[in-house]
Amino acid sequence: MEVAETKRLKALEAENTKLNKILAEQMMDVAALKEMLGKYL
């Protein structure tokens, strides 16, 4: 693997980590909203 490929891989891994964190936060928000909504039905 060349240096450029290694740098690209590290950048993609960092972006993937960031996106996974955002996804997890959104999933928690959805779960909380569903729980709140369930109390009103």
pTM for this model (two decimals): 0.77
Domain boundaries, the chain: 1-41
User: To 5 degrees, how large is the angle CA 24–CA 29–CA 33?
Assistant: 150
pLDDT value for 41: 67
Tens of pLDDT, residue by residue over 1-31, are 799 999 999 999 999 999 999 999 999 999 9
CA–CA gap between residue 17 and residue 23 (Å, rounded) = 10
pLDDT value for 31: 96
Which element (helix H / strand E) includes 2? none
E strands in the chain: none
